[in-house]
Amino acid sequence: MPSWLKNAVFYEIYPQSYYDTNGDGIGDINGITEKLDYIKFLGFNALWLNPCYVSPFMDAGYDVEDYCKVAPRYGTNEALYNLFEQAHNRGMHVILDLVPGHTSDQHPWFKQSRLPTKNEMTDRYTWTDCVWNRPPEYSWVAGMSDRDGCFLINFFNSQPALNYGFNEITHPEWQMSYTDPRAQATFDAMLEVMRFWLDRGCDGFRVDMADSLVKNDEEKTATASLWRRARKMLDESYPEAMLISEWCNAPRSVNNAGFHCDFLLNHQYKMTHYGFRYWENGVNKSYFCKTAHVSAHNMLSKYLDELYQIQGNGYISVISGNHDTERISYMLDESELRLAYTMLLTLPGVPFFYYGDEIGMRYIPQQSKEGGFHRTGSRTPMQWDNSLPNLGFSTADASKLYLQVDDQPNAPTAVQCQANPDSLLNLVKKLNAIRSENEDLQADGQMKILVCDDNGVLAYLRGEHTAVVFNPTDKAQTTTLNVQQELFKIGSYTVKDGITTLESQTAVIFKI
Protein backbone atom coordinates (compact mmCIF):
# COMPACT_ATOMS: atom_id res chain seq x y z
CA MET A 1 0.00 0.00 0.00
CA PRO A 2 1.50 3.39 -0.96
CA SER A 3 2.29 5.18 2.30
CA TRP A 4 1.19 8.59 0.98
CA LEU A 5 -2.42 7.50 0.50
CA LYS A 6 -3.06 7.62 4.23
CA ASN A 7 -3.16 11.41 4.13
CA ALA A 8 -3.97 12.01 0.46
CA VAL A 9 -6.66 14.48 -0.60
CA PHE A 10 -7.14 14.56 -4.38
CA TYR A 11 -8.06 17.41 -6.69
CA GLU A 12 -9.48 16.36 -10.05
CA ILE A 13 -8.55 18.52 -13.04
CA TYR A 14 -10.24 18.54 -16.44
CA PRO A 15 -7.18 19.76 -18.38
CA GLN A 16 -8.93 21.63 -21.17
CA SER A 17 -10.84 23.76 -18.67
CA TYR A 18 -8.31 24.60 -15.96
CA TYR A 19 -5.86 27.28 -17.12
CA ASP A 20 -4.73 28.39 -20.58
CA THR A 21 -1.13 29.65 -20.76
CA ASN A 22 -0.75 30.13 -24.51
CA GLY A 23 -3.93 32.04 -25.34
CA ASP A 24 -5.52 29.45 -27.64
CA GLY A 25 -8.69 29.16 -25.56
CA ILE A 26 -8.00 25.72 -24.11
CA GLY A 27 -6.34 24.70 -20.87
CA ASP A 28 -2.95 23.04 -20.98
CA ILE A 29 -0.40 21.11 -18.94
CA ASN A 30 1.72 24.19 -18.25
CA GLY A 31 -1.39 25.85 -16.87
CA ILE A 32 -1.76 23.08 -14.30
CA THR A 33 1.91 23.43 -13.36
CA GLU A 34 1.49 27.18 -12.88
CA LYS A 35 -1.41 26.57 -10.49
CA LEU A 36 0.27 23.95 -8.29
CA ASP A 37 0.90 26.49 -5.54
CA TYR A 38 -2.80 27.41 -5.49
CA ILE A 39 -3.76 23.75 -5.19
CA LYS A 40 -1.23 23.18 -2.42
CA PHE A 41 -2.43 26.35 -0.66
CA LEU A 42 -5.87 24.75 -0.45
CA GLY A 43 -4.38 21.68 1.23
CA PHE A 44 -4.72 19.24 -1.66
CA ASN A 45 -1.65 17.05 -2.01
CA ALA A 46 -2.58 14.88 -4.99
CA LEU A 47 -3.95 15.46 -8.49
CA TRP A 48 -6.03 13.33 -10.82
CA LEU A 49 -5.83 14.47 -14.44
CA ASN A 50 -8.57 13.47 -16.87
CA PRO A 51 -7.16 12.05 -20.14
CA CYS A 52 -4.54 14.25 -21.76
CA TYR A 53 -3.49 11.83 -24.51
CA VAL A 54 -3.67 12.22 -28.28
CA SER A 55 -7.31 11.81 -29.29
CA PRO A 56 -9.84 12.87 -31.91
CA PHE A 57 -11.89 14.06 -28.91
CA MET A 58 -15.16 12.44 -29.84
CA ASP A 59 -15.51 11.75 -26.11
CA ALA A 60 -13.39 14.51 -24.58
CA GLY A 61 -10.25 12.37 -24.63
CA TYR A 62 -11.76 9.12 -23.35
CA ASP A 63 -11.31 7.94 -26.94
CA VAL A 64 -7.54 7.46 -26.91
CA GLU A 65 -5.53 7.48 -30.13
CA ASP A 66 -2.09 7.17 -28.51
CA TYR A 67 -1.71 6.15 -24.86
CA CYS A 68 1.87 7.36 -24.63
CA LYS A 69 1.71 10.81 -26.17
CA VAL A 70 0.25 14.04 -24.79
CA ALA A 71 -2.27 15.70 -27.10
CA PRO A 72 -0.62 18.73 -28.78
CA ARG A 73 -3.39 21.02 -27.60
CA TYR A 74 -2.26 20.34 -24.02
CA GLY A 75 1.47 20.58 -24.73
CA THR A 76 4.14 17.90 -24.88
CA ASN A 77 5.25 14.83 -23.00
CA GLU A 78 8.07 16.94 -21.60
CA ALA A 79 5.55 19.39 -20.17
CA LEU A 80 3.81 16.52 -18.38
CA TYR A 81 7.11 15.14 -17.07
CA ASN A 82 7.84 18.62 -15.73
CA LEU A 83 4.45 18.69 -14.01
CA PHE A 84 5.30 15.42 -12.27
CA GLU A 85 8.63 16.86 -11.12
CA GLN A 86 7.22 20.18 -9.95
CA ALA A 87 4.45 18.42 -8.04
CA HIS A 88 6.93 16.08 -6.36
CA ASN A 89 9.06 19.07 -5.36
CA ARG A 90 6.00 20.33 -3.46
CA GLY A 91 5.28 17.00 -1.78
CA MET A 92 2.37 16.32 -4.14
CA HIS A 93 1.45 13.31 -6.30
CA VAL A 94 -0.08 13.09 -9.78
CA ILE A 95 -2.14 10.24 -11.20
CA LEU A 96 -3.36 9.92 -14.78
CA ASP A 97 -6.59 8.56 -16.20
CA LEU A 98 -6.15 5.09 -17.70
CA VAL A 99 -8.79 4.08 -20.24
CA PRO A 100 -8.24 0.32 -20.73
CA GLY A 101 -11.64 -0.80 -21.97
CA HIS A 102 -11.60 0.79 -25.40
CA THR A 103 -9.65 3.09 -27.70
CA SER A 104 -10.55 5.54 -30.41
CA ASP A 105 -11.28 4.03 -33.80
CA GLN A 106 -8.32 6.16 -34.93
CA HIS A 107 -5.85 4.25 -32.76
CA PRO A 108 -3.17 2.46 -34.86
CA TRP A 109 -4.13 -0.80 -33.17
CA PHE A 110 -7.67 -0.54 -34.50
CA LYS A 111 -6.60 0.60 -37.95
CA GLN A 112 -4.69 -2.67 -38.22
CA SER A 113 -7.37 -4.75 -36.56
CA ARG A 114 -10.01 -3.67 -39.08
CA LEU A 115 -7.97 -4.90 -42.05
CA PRO A 116 -9.34 -7.95 -43.89
CA THR A 117 -5.98 -9.74 -43.76
CA LYS A 118 -4.83 -11.38 -40.53
CA ASN A 119 -2.14 -9.45 -38.62
CA GLU A 120 -0.78 -8.96 -35.10
CA MET A 121 -3.73 -6.70 -34.15
CA THR A 122 -6.49 -8.86 -35.59
CA ASP A 123 -7.49 -10.03 -32.11
CA ARG A 124 -6.71 -6.82 -30.21
CA TYR A 125 -10.43 -5.92 -30.39
CA THR A 126 -13.60 -7.99 -30.12
CA TRP A 127 -15.06 -8.90 -33.52
CA THR A 128 -17.72 -11.33 -34.65
CA ASP A 129 -16.84 -13.80 -37.37
CA CYS A 130 -19.25 -12.34 -39.92
CA VAL A 131 -20.70 -8.91 -40.67
CA TRP A 132 -24.19 -10.44 -40.50
CA ASN A 133 -23.54 -11.99 -37.09
CA ARG A 134 -24.72 -9.33 -34.64
CA PRO A 135 -25.85 -10.91 -31.34
CA PRO A 136 -28.48 -8.57 -29.81
CA GLU A 137 -27.06 -8.77 -26.28
CA TYR A 138 -24.08 -6.60 -27.31
CA SER A 139 -23.58 -3.18 -28.85
CA TRP A 140 -21.96 -3.47 -32.27
CA VAL A 141 -20.83 -1.46 -35.26
CA ALA A 142 -21.09 -3.15 -38.64
CA GLY A 143 -20.08 -2.37 -42.19
CA MET A 144 -17.48 0.29 -41.37
CA SER A 145 -14.45 -1.65 -42.61
CA ASP A 146 -13.41 -4.26 -45.14
CA ARG A 147 -13.06 -6.86 -42.40
CA ASP A 148 -15.89 -9.38 -42.44
CA GLY A 149 -17.20 -8.89 -38.93
CA CYS A 150 -18.77 -6.46 -36.48
CA PHE A 151 -16.84 -4.88 -33.64
CA LEU A 152 -18.11 -4.51 -30.11
CA ILE A 153 -18.24 -0.98 -28.64
CA ASN A 154 -18.23 0.14 -25.03
CA PHE A 155 -19.85 3.55 -25.36
CA PHE A 156 -19.88 5.62 -28.57
CA ASN A 157 -19.55 4.08 -32.03
CA SER A 158 -16.02 5.51 -32.23
CA GLN A 159 -14.90 3.54 -29.14
CA PRO A 160 -14.23 -0.08 -30.12
CA ALA A 161 -13.88 -2.44 -27.16
CA LEU A 162 -10.47 -3.93 -26.59
CA ASN A 163 -10.42 -7.72 -26.45
CA TYR A 164 -9.85 -9.15 -22.98
CA GLY A 165 -11.86 -12.27 -23.81
CA PHE A 166 -14.99 -13.75 -22.28
CA ASN A 167 -15.57 -15.57 -19.03
CA GLU A 168 -18.68 -17.42 -20.22
CA ILE A 169 -18.50 -18.47 -23.87
CA THR A 170 -21.94 -18.17 -25.51
CA HIS A 171 -20.84 -17.80 -29.15
CA PRO A 172 -17.85 -20.13 -29.63
CA GLU A 173 -17.58 -19.25 -33.32
CA TRP A 174 -16.02 -15.88 -32.45
CA GLN A 175 -15.59 -15.54 -28.66
CA MET A 176 -12.37 -16.53 -26.92
CA SER A 177 -11.65 -17.22 -23.26
CA TYR A 178 -10.05 -14.51 -21.18
CA THR A 179 -7.21 -16.98 -20.57
CA ASP A 180 -6.46 -17.17 -24.31
CA PRO A 181 -2.96 -15.76 -25.01
CA ARG A 182 -4.47 -13.36 -27.55
CA ALA A 183 -6.75 -11.83 -24.91
CA GLN A 184 -3.99 -11.81 -22.31
CA ALA A 185 -1.78 -9.94 -24.80
CA THR A 186 -4.20 -7.01 -24.68
CA PHE A 187 -3.68 -6.66 -20.94
CA ASP A 188 0.07 -7.05 -21.42
CA ALA A 189 -0.09 -4.03 -23.73
CA MET A 190 -1.96 -2.04 -21.08
CA LEU A 191 0.69 -2.95 -18.50
CA GLU A 192 3.29 -1.54 -20.86
CA VAL A 193 1.34 1.73 -21.05
CA MET A 194 1.33 1.89 -17.26
CA ARG A 195 5.06 1.23 -17.08
CA PHE A 196 5.71 3.96 -19.64
CA TRP A 197 4.15 6.66 -17.45
CA LEU A 198 5.32 5.27 -14.10
CA ASP A 199 8.91 5.29 -15.35
CA ARG A 200 8.53 8.99 -16.14
CA GLY A 201 7.19 10.12 -12.78
CA CYS A 202 3.48 9.34 -12.77
CA ASP A 203 2.25 8.20 -9.34
CA GLY A 204 -0.53 5.89 -10.47
CA PHE A 205 -3.82 5.69 -12.29
CA ARG A 206 -7.52 6.22 -11.96
CA VAL A 207 -8.93 3.40 -14.09
CA ASP A 208 -11.96 4.22 -16.22
CA MET A 209 -14.69 1.56 -16.31
CA ALA A 210 -12.35 -0.82 -14.49
CA ASP A 211 -14.96 -3.57 -14.21
CA SER A 212 -15.72 -3.66 -17.94
CA LEU A 213 -12.78 -5.58 -19.39
CA VAL A 214 -13.73 -9.25 -19.65
CA LYS A 215 -17.19 -9.77 -21.16
CA ASN A 216 -19.85 -12.21 -19.93
CA ASP A 217 -18.22 -11.87 -16.52
CA GLU A 218 -21.20 -11.33 -14.24
CA GLU A 219 -19.32 -11.73 -10.94
CA LYS A 220 -16.26 -9.93 -12.38
CA THR A 221 -13.93 -12.72 -11.27
CA ALA A 222 -12.09 -12.88 -14.59
CA THR A 223 -11.72 -9.09 -14.77
CA ALA A 224 -10.42 -9.11 -11.19
CA SER A 225 -7.78 -11.67 -12.15
CA LEU A 226 -6.37 -9.24 -14.70
CA TRP A 227 -6.16 -6.37 -12.25
CA ARG A 228 -4.38 -8.59 -9.74
CA ARG A 229 -1.64 -8.86 -12.36
CA ALA A 230 -1.41 -5.06 -12.42
CA ARG A 231 -1.28 -4.89 -8.63
CA LYS A 232 1.48 -7.52 -8.58
CA MET A 233 3.47 -5.43 -11.05
CA LEU A 234 3.08 -2.34 -8.86
CA ASP A 235 3.97 -4.16 -5.65
CA GLU A 236 7.12 -5.57 -7.22
CA SER A 237 8.34 -2.59 -9.26
CA TYR A 238 6.42 0.54 -8.21
CA PRO A 239 5.35 0.04 -4.57
CA GLU A 240 4.47 3.71 -4.06
CA ALA A 241 2.22 3.87 -7.13
CA MET A 242 -1.53 3.65 -6.64
CA LEU A 243 -4.57 2.30 -8.50
CA ILE A 244 -8.09 3.64 -7.98
CA SER A 245 -11.00 2.10 -9.82
CA GLU A 246 -14.23 3.34 -11.28
CA TRP A 247 -15.92 0.14 -10.16
CA CYS A 248 -18.31 1.24 -7.42
CA ASN A 249 -18.08 -2.07 -5.59
CA ALA A 250 -15.21 -1.89 -3.13
CA PRO A 251 -15.31 -5.54 -1.98
CA ARG A 252 -14.80 -6.63 -5.58
CA SER A 253 -12.35 -3.96 -6.66
CA VAL A 254 -10.24 -3.80 -3.49
CA ASN A 255 -10.54 -7.28 -1.98
CA ASN A 256 -10.73 -9.27 -5.21
CA ALA A 257 -9.02 -7.16 -7.87
CA GLY A 258 -6.29 -5.56 -5.78
CA PHE A 259 -7.10 -1.87 -6.24
CA HIS A 260 -5.94 0.46 -3.48
CA CYS A 261 -9.14 2.55 -3.69
CA ASP A 262 -12.56 2.41 -5.27
CA PHE A 263 -14.96 5.23 -6.07
CA LEU A 264 -18.34 4.90 -4.42
CA LEU A 265 -19.72 6.94 -7.22
CA ASN A 266 -22.55 7.10 -9.64
CA HIS A 267 -23.40 3.95 -11.49
CA GLN A 268 -24.18 0.92 -9.35
CA TYR A 269 -24.96 1.97 -5.80
CA LYS A 270 -25.11 5.73 -6.26
CA MET A 271 -23.97 6.68 -2.78
CA THR A 272 -23.48 10.29 -3.85
CA HIS A 273 -27.05 10.37 -5.07
CA TYR A 274 -28.37 8.84 -1.86
CA GLY A 275 -26.64 11.44 0.26
CA PHE A 276 -25.02 14.38 -1.44
CA ARG A 277 -27.51 14.64 -4.32
CA TYR A 278 -30.74 12.70 -4.33
CA TRP A 279 -34.01 13.64 -5.96
CA GLU A 280 -37.27 11.76 -5.42
CA ASN A 281 -40.31 12.66 -7.52
CA GLY A 282 -38.84 16.08 -8.21
CA VAL A 283 -38.10 16.80 -4.55
CA ASN A 284 -34.57 17.25 -3.18
CA LYS A 285 -34.09 14.48 -0.64
CA SER A 286 -30.37 14.93 -0.08
CA TYR A 287 -29.31 14.51 3.51
CA PHE A 288 -27.76 17.98 3.33
CA CYS A 289 -30.86 19.72 1.96
CA LYS A 290 -32.02 21.87 4.84
CA THR A 291 -35.71 21.19 4.21
CA ALA A 292 -35.43 17.44 3.53
CA HIS A 293 -35.25 16.37 7.21
CA VAL A 294 -34.11 12.84 6.38
CA SER A 295 -32.03 10.40 8.37
CA ALA A 296 -28.48 9.77 7.25
CA HIS A 297 -29.14 6.03 7.35
CA ASN A 298 -29.82 5.58 3.61
CA MET A 299 -26.77 7.61 2.70
CA LEU A 300 -24.38 5.70 4.95
CA SER A 301 -25.70 2.14 4.96
CA LYS A 302 -24.04 1.01 1.71
CA TYR A 303 -20.91 3.02 2.43
CA LEU A 304 -20.47 1.50 5.90
CA ASP A 305 -21.21 -2.01 4.68
CA GLU A 306 -18.47 -1.81 2.07
CA LEU A 307 -16.10 0.05 4.39
CA TYR A 308 -16.21 -2.79 6.92
CA GLN A 309 -15.77 -5.44 4.22
CA ILE A 310 -12.53 -3.91 2.87
CA GLN A 311 -11.09 -2.87 6.23
CA GLY A 312 -7.30 -3.15 6.15
CA ASN A 313 -7.15 -3.90 2.42
CA GLY A 314 -7.80 -0.52 0.85
CA TYR A 315 -9.99 2.57 0.80
CA ILE A 316 -13.29 3.94 -0.40
CA SER A 317 -13.12 7.31 -2.14
CA VAL A 318 -16.07 9.67 -1.83
CA ILE A 319 -16.15 12.59 -4.25
CA SER A 320 -17.58 16.09 -4.38
CA GLY A 321 -18.42 15.44 -8.03
CA ASN A 322 -16.64 14.77 -11.30
CA HIS A 323 -16.66 15.40 -15.03
CA ASP A 324 -19.60 13.02 -15.54
CA THR A 325 -22.03 14.43 -12.96
CA GLU A 326 -23.81 17.73 -12.46
CA ARG A 327 -21.83 19.91 -10.10
CA ILE A 328 -22.76 19.45 -6.48
CA SER A 329 -23.82 23.12 -6.34
CA TYR A 330 -26.64 22.20 -8.74
CA MET A 331 -28.26 20.28 -5.87
CA LEU A 332 -27.10 22.16 -2.78
CA ASP A 333 -26.85 25.85 -1.91
CA GLU A 334 -23.72 27.30 -0.31
CA SER A 335 -24.85 26.77 3.28
CA GLU A 336 -25.65 23.12 2.49
CA LEU A 337 -22.35 22.67 0.67
CA ARG A 338 -20.49 23.70 3.81
CA LEU A 339 -21.89 20.71 5.69
CA ALA A 340 -21.43 18.35 2.73
CA TYR A 341 -17.76 19.30 2.43
CA THR A 342 -17.29 18.81 6.16
CA MET A 343 -18.53 15.25 5.84
CA LEU A 344 -16.56 14.53 2.67
CA LEU A 345 -13.31 15.56 4.38
CA THR A 346 -13.99 13.70 7.65
CA LEU A 347 -15.11 10.30 6.35
CA PRO A 348 -12.60 7.42 6.22
CA GLY A 349 -10.84 6.83 2.93
CA VAL A 350 -9.31 9.04 0.26
CA PRO A 351 -11.48 12.05 -0.70
CA PHE A 352 -11.64 13.62 -4.17
CA PHE A 353 -12.64 17.21 -5.01
CA TYR A 354 -13.56 18.30 -8.53
CA TYR A 355 -11.87 21.51 -9.70
CA GLY A 356 -14.00 24.58 -9.01
CA ASP A 357 -16.13 22.91 -6.34
CA GLU A 358 -13.99 24.71 -3.77
CA ILE A 359 -15.45 28.03 -4.99
CA GLY A 360 -18.97 26.75 -5.65
CA MET A 361 -18.78 26.80 -9.46
CA ARG A 362 -22.17 26.25 -11.05
CA TYR A 363 -23.45 23.60 -13.41
CA ILE A 364 -24.27 25.53 -16.59
CA PRO A 365 -26.51 23.64 -19.04
CA GLN A 366 -25.35 24.24 -22.60
CA GLN A 367 -24.77 22.72 -26.02
CA SER A 368 -22.79 19.48 -26.02
CA LYS A 369 -19.04 19.73 -26.59
CA GLU A 370 -16.84 16.80 -27.66
CA GLY A 371 -19.35 14.14 -26.64
CA GLY A 372 -20.14 15.73 -23.30
CA PHE A 373 -23.90 16.11 -23.81
CA HIS A 374 -25.51 16.86 -20.42
CA ARG A 375 -22.07 16.50 -18.77
CA THR A 376 -20.77 19.54 -20.65
CA GLY A 377 -22.30 21.88 -18.06
CA SER A 378 -19.88 20.55 -15.44
CA ARG A 379 -16.80 21.09 -17.61
CA THR A 380 -16.75 24.88 -17.98
CA PRO A 381 -13.51 26.85 -17.47
CA MET A 382 -12.12 27.40 -14.00
CA GLN A 383 -12.96 30.85 -12.65
CA TRP A 384 -9.83 32.55 -11.40
CA ASP A 385 -10.26 36.33 -11.23
CA ASN A 386 -13.34 38.45 -11.95
CA SER A 387 -11.15 41.46 -12.82
CA LEU A 388 -9.65 39.66 -15.85
CA PRO A 389 -11.13 38.70 -19.24
CA ASN A 390 -12.74 35.26 -19.26
CA LEU A 391 -12.48 35.28 -15.46
CA GLY A 392 -8.74 34.75 -15.81
CA PHE A 393 -8.99 31.39 -17.55
CA SER A 394 -7.55 32.55 -20.90
CA THR A 395 -6.44 35.67 -22.76
CA ALA A 396 -8.11 34.36 -25.95
CA ASP A 397 -11.12 36.06 -27.45
CA ALA A 398 -14.24 34.68 -25.77
CA SER A 399 -15.37 33.17 -29.08
CA LYS A 400 -12.30 30.89 -29.08
CA LEU A 401 -12.71 29.40 -25.61
CA TYR A 402 -13.11 25.63 -25.26
CA LEU A 403 -16.33 26.42 -23.39
CA GLN A 404 -17.72 29.76 -22.30
CA VAL A 405 -17.07 30.87 -18.75
CA ASP A 406 -19.92 31.58 -16.34
CA ASP A 407 -21.15 34.99 -17.51
CA GLN A 408 -23.38 35.74 -14.52
CA PRO A 409 -22.41 38.86 -12.54
CA ASN A 410 -22.06 36.88 -9.31
CA ALA A 411 -19.88 34.11 -10.78
CA PRO A 412 -17.53 33.06 -7.95
CA THR A 413 -13.77 33.27 -8.53
CA ALA A 414 -10.72 31.97 -6.68
CA VAL A 415 -9.34 35.47 -6.05
CA GLN A 416 -12.64 36.65 -4.64
CA CYS A 417 -13.01 33.57 -2.43
CA GLN A 418 -9.45 33.75 -1.12
CA ALA A 419 -10.14 37.29 0.11
CA ASN A 420 -13.31 36.23 1.95
CA PRO A 421 -12.54 34.42 5.22
CA ASP A 422 -16.05 32.92 5.24
CA SER A 423 -15.89 31.53 1.69
CA LEU A 424 -16.23 27.89 0.68
CA LEU A 425 -12.61 27.99 -0.44
CA ASN A 426 -11.35 28.95 3.00
CA LEU A 427 -13.65 26.37 4.58
CA VAL A 428 -12.08 23.65 2.41
CA LYS A 429 -8.61 24.95 3.22
CA LYS A 430 -9.34 24.83 6.95
CA LEU A 431 -10.86 21.33 6.81
CA ASN A 432 -7.90 20.02 4.83
CA ALA A 433 -5.54 21.44 7.46
CA ILE A 434 -7.50 19.84 10.30
CA ARG A 435 -7.52 16.50 8.50
CA SER A 436 -3.79 16.70 7.80
CA GLU A 437 -3.00 17.41 11.44
CA ASN A 438 -5.32 14.76 12.91
CA GLU A 439 -4.61 11.08 12.17
CA ASP A 440 -8.08 10.14 13.40
CA LEU A 441 -9.56 11.93 10.38
CA GLN A 442 -7.23 10.45 7.79
CA ALA A 443 -7.81 7.44 5.56
CA ASP A 444 -7.09 4.74 8.14
CA GLY A 445 -9.02 6.21 11.06
CA GLN A 446 -11.82 3.91 12.18
CA MET A 447 -15.46 5.02 12.06
CA LYS A 448 -18.25 4.27 14.49
CA ILE A 449 -21.76 5.70 14.30
CA LEU A 450 -22.67 7.39 17.59
CA VAL A 451 -26.02 8.92 16.63
CA CYS A 452 -28.20 8.52 13.52
CA ASP A 453 -31.61 9.91 14.39
CA ASP A 454 -34.77 10.34 12.36
CA ASN A 455 -34.58 14.09 13.05
CA GLY A 456 -31.47 14.29 10.87
CA VAL A 457 -28.82 14.41 13.59
CA LEU A 458 -25.78 12.32 12.72
CA ALA A 459 -22.62 11.83 14.74
CA TYR A 460 -19.70 9.52 14.15
CA LEU A 461 -16.46 8.75 15.94
CA ARG A 462 -13.23 8.79 13.93
CA GLY A 463 -10.35 6.91 15.46
CA GLU A 464 -10.50 6.92 19.24
CA HIS A 465 -10.75 10.58 20.09
CA THR A 466 -12.35 12.63 17.31
CA ALA A 467 -16.07 12.96 16.61
CA VAL A 468 -18.14 14.81 14.03
CA VAL A 469 -21.78 15.79 14.50
CA PHE A 470 -24.28 17.25 12.01
CA ASN A 471 -27.67 18.88 12.03
CA PRO A 472 -28.31 19.79 8.39
CA THR A 473 -31.96 20.75 8.88
CA ASP A 474 -33.51 24.22 9.07
CA LYS A 475 -34.59 23.67 12.69
CA ALA A 476 -32.75 23.23 15.98
CA GLN A 477 -32.37 19.58 17.00
CA THR A 478 -31.26 17.93 20.22
CA THR A 479 -29.08 14.92 20.96
CA THR A 480 -27.83 13.23 24.10
CA LEU A 481 -24.31 13.43 22.72
CA ASN A 482 -22.19 15.70 24.89
CA VAL A 483 -20.29 17.96 22.50
CA GLN A 484 -17.10 19.45 23.94
CA GLN A 485 -13.43 20.28 23.15
CA GLU A 486 -14.37 21.86 19.82
CA LEU A 487 -11.89 21.72 16.92
CA PHE A 488 -14.10 23.16 14.19
CA LYS A 489 -17.61 24.53 13.92
CA ILE A 490 -20.21 25.61 11.39
CA GLY A 491 -23.31 27.13 12.96
CA SER A 492 -23.81 27.02 16.72
CA TYR A 493 -24.79 24.73 19.58
CA THR A 494 -25.34 24.72 23.33
CA VAL A 495 -24.80 22.01 25.92
CA LYS A 496 -26.93 21.80 29.08
CA ASP A 497 -27.37 18.92 31.52
CA GLY A 498 -25.72 16.51 29.06
CA ILE A 499 -28.03 17.47 26.20
CA THR A 500 -26.64 19.19 23.13
CA THR A 501 -28.88 21.47 21.12
CA LEU A 502 -27.62 21.90 17.58
CA GLU A 503 -28.95 24.97 15.84
CA SER A 504 -29.99 24.71 12.20
CA GLN A 505 -27.26 23.77 9.70
CA THR A 506 -24.59 23.06 12.30
CA ALA A 507 -21.56 20.78 12.08
CA VAL A 508 -18.94 20.35 14.77
CA ILE A 509 -15.64 18.45 14.91
CA PHE A 510 -14.59 17.83 18.50
CA LYS A 511 -12.40 15.73 20.75
CA ILE A 512 -13.85 13.24 23.17
Residue pair 345/34 in contact (Cβ under 8 Å)? The answer is no
Q: How many whole angstroms separate alpha carbon 483 and alpha carbon 332?
A: 27
Number of Cα atoms under 13 Å in the Cβ half of residue 91: 10
Question: Is the pLDDT assigned to residue 359 strictly greater than 60?
Answer: yes
Q: What element of type H or E holds 141? A: strand 140-141
Confidence grade of residue 282 (pLDDT, cut at 50, 70, 90): confident
Query: How does DSSP assign 403-458, residue by residue?
Result: SPPP-STT---HHHHHH-TTSHHHHHHHHHHHHHH-GGGSTT--EEEEEE-TTS-E
Q: How many whole angstroms separate alpha carbon 411 and alpha carbon 149?
A: 51
Q: What is the DSSP letter of 225?
A: H
Assigned fold of 102-163:
Oligo-1,6-glucosidase; domain 2 (3.90.400)
Q: What element of type H or E holds 502? A: strand 499-502
Average pLDDT, the chain: 95
Question: Is the pLDDT assigned to residue 107 strictly greater than 50?
Answer: yes
When pLDDT is averaged across residues 376-384 and rounded to a whole number, the result is: 98
Confidence grade of residue 223 (pLDDT, cut at 50, 70, 90): very high
Q: Which stretch of 72-76, 90-94, 215-219, 288-292 has the lowest confidence by average pLDDT?
A: 288-292
- Report which of 439, 430, 510 is spatially closest to residue 469, judged by C-alpha positions: 510
What's the confidence (pLDDT) of residue 405? 96
Percent of the chain residues topping a pLDDT of 70: 97
Whether the model pTM is above 0.85:
yes
Q: Where are the domains of the chain?
A: 102-163, 446-511
Q: How many whole angstroms separate alpha carbon 71 and alpha carbon 61?
A: 9
What's the confidence (pLDDT) of residue 410? 95
Confidence grade of residue 299 (pLDDT, cut at 50, 70, 90): confident
Give the C-alpha distances (Å, rounded to integers) separating 200 from 83, 98, 194, 378, 447: 11, 15, 10, 31, 37
Question: Is the pLDDT assigned to residue 54 strictly greater than 60?
Answer: yes
Residue pair 161/152 in contact (Cβ under 8 Å)? The answer is yes
pLDDT in tens, 6-25: 999 999 999 999 999 999 99
pLDDT in tens, 136-160: 999 999 999 999 999 999 999 999 9
Given this chain, do its domains 102-163 and 446-511 carry the same CATH topology? no
CATH superfamily of domain region 446-511 = Golgi alpha-mannosidase II (2.60.40.1180)
pLDDT in tens, 458-488: 999 999 999 999 999 999 999 999 888 999 9
Residue pair 97/49 in contact (Cβ under 8 Å)? The answer is yes
Question: Is the pLDDT assigned to residue 267 strictly greater than 70?
Answer: no
Confidence grade of residue 265 (pLDDT, cut at 50, 70, 90): low
Q: Which stretch of 219-233, 276-290, 327-341 has the lowest confidence by average pLDDT?
A: 276-290
What's the confidence (pLDDT) of residue 274? 45
